[in-house]
Amino acid sequence: MAVSAKRWISVVAVALFFGGVFCAGFLFFYHRIQRSKAESAAAVAASKSLIDKPLPHARIIDINGAKVDEQILRRGRVVLVFITTDCDACATESKFLQTLLDRRKDITFYGLVPFGPRPDSDKTFPFKVFFDEDDSFVRSLGINRVPVKVFLEDGIIKNGWIGADVSDKAKTSFIQWMDGLP
Mean pLDDT of 25-37: 64
- In single-letter form, the type of residue at position 166 comes to V
In one letter, which amino acid is 36? S
Q: What is the mean pLDDT of residues 162-166?
A: 80
How many Cα neighbours within 13 Å face the side chain of 110? 24
State pLDDT tens for residues 116-136.
777 666 677 899 999 988 888
Q: What is the mean pLDDT of the chain?
A: 82
Give the C-alpha separation, 3 to 76, whole Å: 82
In the predicted structure, residue 106 carries a pLDDT above the cut 90? yes
* Confidence grade of residue 32 (pLDDT, cut at 50, 70, 90): low
Residues 160 and 85: beta-carbon distance below 8 Å: no
What is the H or E stretch that residue 152 is in? strand 148-153
Residue 94 contacts by C-beta under 8 Å, 6 or more apart in sequence?
81, 83, 111, 125, 126, 127
Size (the chain), residues: 182
Q: What is the pLDDT of residues 5-15, one digit of tens each?
A: 778 787 777 77
